Structure 1
Amino acid sequence: MKYTMNRRKFIHTTASVAAGLGVAGLSSIVDASKIMAAGGTPDHAPKRKLGKTEYNVSLFSLGGESTVQIASKSQQAVEIIDRALDLGVNYIDTAPSYGAGGSETNIGLVMARRRNQVFLASKTHDRTYDGTMRLIEQSLERLQTDYLDLYQVHNIRSHDDIERALSRNGAVEAMERLRSQGVIRHIGITGHRNSEALLYGINSYDFDTILMALNAGDIFYDPFQGDLLNRALEKRMGIIAMKITAVNNIFRADGLTTMDEAMGYALSFPVSTAIIGITSVGQVDENVRVARDFRPMSQNRLASIEEKVKPYNEQVNFFKRSW
């Protein structure tokens, strides 16, 4: 296990960088030369490399929440998943906490038939070795598979969280054991709203991937977000964007942005993919279209979207209470 940075050193080396970024906007750090190439067909989602995993993952990927997590809507969930796979979406993200297992169960109904078409990711919210081992056994049963392509430490919120996961008999020790046994292939880290804690995490351990929130409003209260993106890129991590619409809050302000803008904004950064929760088959079609038509936005375009979002972020505090 590679655990390389103590908390005191981390705080000292990152505080000045975050202060320098201020509220200039995340667009100010974009380097167009680092945006990974993508290519698709008229009917299929384009793809990018998922960091050091070397897997080619669709730009739009399927999140395991929304309709997919509802146990009573298994038929609709299966239709959504099948349609996504038919259109070339090949990454599905879930977790045992989504729908109290309903998400994994619904996804498993499709995995029983189409497992070889999917890079399948789930998570452990337990920070201990034994708890993680119990969770993955349940996840594998619900997902109807004997392995996961990616297993992630779920929802890191603080330095203490990552230290517990990395400690002796912690979650990461269990994940390393599972990887050595071929039960999982890659190890990742996720977090919703504390880029500083995530940055501490990826500086402390060589995770393969990171799942992080990325939308035009976050930068106005999360100054470490740019540093997190750049550090993950330096480490060749697969960077997976989530919450690209701030749980649809950026659509609740008089039509502030469209999905073309929301997804285009996120994909204009050096991320591998964006996972999105889906409520209908029609949304799958629409998101594949947006991914297929995507072209990287200029710094000016990204900055203009941030400026459109900023007043609503300040007035209603949407983004801080979105998750």
Structure 2
Amino acid sequence: MSEKSTTGRPTRQLGKTGAMVEIVSLGGEGILRTNGQHKHAVPMIEEALHLGVRYMDTAPAYQQSQDYYGAAFKNLGAKAREQVFLASKTHRRERDQALTLLDDSLERLGTDRLDLWQLHDLRSQNDLDRLFGKGGAIEAVEQAKADGRVRFVGITGHHDPAILVEAMSRYPVDTVLCAINPADRARSPFLTSVIPEARQRNVGVIGMKIMAAGRLLRDHAATPEELIRYAASHTDTVIIGCSSIAEVRQNLAVRDTFTPMSESELAALEARIAPHAERYDTFKR
């Protein structure tokens, strides 16, 4: 479902969560995946909030990103936290360890709940067996949802699309975060596996790796606008890790003028990237 926000910018419904998100969201990488960069990272988050970003992503594995978010929310007051759909993750596969990590995340973020808690970086059948087995992290999800620490649950992965498809068949997750860029179709595509499965199940789709960790830009293979429009033409929102306030503003300028790519535009960009696609999907199995 798409509609216009009160600002006139396009928003989409994030699957069965019912939350309305803009097409561009703030990721937890870039400068946020660093240590000791408070004086640069916190103002960047504050600028994103000022410019209306609704969905914000982080993870315990992303160094001090949670601390930076927590500092920004503290600086701007409780209203700032309430205006965003806040997502974090757990890389632990066991119930008790996942709950310990959740409580640490909440403390660092300065909040009493997550809007979305994601099972992070699923790669193998062993990951799924541990998560969904006795004493696995899915028990932590159920407990945290019951006691209000977590509203919704998601899965993430960029290694093997089949694992995310299998995870969706095992548990009614609310969202999936997966890799989407113009190199995707060349090998083990998420576009033709994970996304159709998610749409059938009304699972929200969040795109990542949309610039291939910046390699597509450094190679001058595509512009930021092309890559955002490409990924956002397939997803509900895309998360982008930024290194500066200027990058935040540049990405959100695309949001403000966004139009989905036509089928011919999508195909043309894929064809342009295809001869060197292996450079841009190194995160896959």
**TM-score in same-fold range (> 0.5):** yes
Distance 2:163 2:236 in 1: 21
Give secondary structure in 2 for the equivalent of 1:61.
strand
Please say if 1:260 is aligned against 2:260. no
Q: Within 5 Å, which residues of 2 pair with 1:72-83? A: 72-83=36-47
Q: Within 5 Å, which residues of 2 pair with 1:107-126? A: 107-112=69-74, 113=77, 114-126=80-92
Aligned equivalent of 2:134: 168
Give secondary structure in 2 for the equivalent of 1:98.
coil
CA deviation after TM superposition for structure 1 residue 322, in Å: 8.0
CA deviation after TM superposition for structure 1 residue 219, in Å: 1.7
Q: Within 5 Å, which residues of 2 pair with 1:166-245? A: 166-223=132-189, 225-245=191-211
Distance 2:224 2:3 in 1: 19
Distance 2:236 2:110 in 1: 26
CA RMSD of aligned residues (A): 1.7
Distance 2:149 2:28 in 1: 21
Aligned equivalent of 2:253: 289
Deviation per CA, 1:112-154: give whole Å up to 9, x if none: 2221111111101000001101101110111111110000100
Give secondary structure in 2 for the equivalent of 1:121.
strand
Give, as a single letter, the amino acid of the residue that structure 1 aligns with 2:66.
E
Deviation per CA, 1:144-188: give whole Å up to 9, x if none: 111100001000001221121111111011111000001100011
Equivalent pairs, count? 281
Distance 2:163 2:258 in 1: 31
Give secondary structure in 2 for the equivalent of 1:146.
coil
2:27 to 57, 63, 71: 63
Give secondary structure in 2 for the equivalent of 1:303.
helix
Aligned equivalent of 2:102: 136
Aligned equivalent of 2:121: 155
The 3 A distance-change label for structure 1 pair 97 and 197 is same
Please say if 1:106 is aligned against 2:68. yes
The 3 A distance-change label for structure 1 pair 243 and 175 is same
Distance 1:81 1:196 in 2: 34
Gaps of 5+ in 2: none
Q: Is the 8 A contact 2:90 2:119 kept in 1?
A: yes
Distance 1:87 1:322 in 2: 33
1:97 to 56, 61, 64: 61
Larger Rg: 1
Give, as a single letter, the amino acid of the residue that structure 2 aligns with 1:69.
R
CA deviation after TM superposition for structure 1 residue 223, in Å: 3.7
Aligned equivalent of 2:281: 319
The 3 A distance-change label for structure 1 pair 50 and 134 is same
Distance 1:322 1:109 in 2: 34
Give the TM-score, by structure 1 length.
0.83
The 3 A distance-change label for structure 1 pair 321 and 213 is closer
Higher share in helix:
1
CA deviation after TM superposition for structure 1 residue 111, in Å: 2.2
Gaps of 5+ in 1: 1-35
Distance 2:24 2:280 in 1: 24
Q: Is the 8 A contact 2:188 2:284 kept in 1?
A: no
Distance 1:98 1:289 in 2: 26
Give the TM-score, by structure 2 length.
0.94
Give, as a single letter, the amino acid of the residue that structure 2 aligns with 1:197.
I
Please say if 1:146 is aligned against 2:108. no
Give secondary structure in 2 for the equivalent of 1:256.
coil
Distance 2:186 2:125 in 1: 22
CA deviation after TM superposition for structure 1 residue 45, in Å: 5.2
Q: Is the 8 A contact 2:178 2:190 kept in 1?
A: no
Q: Is the 8 A contact 1:45 1:87 kept in 2?
A: no
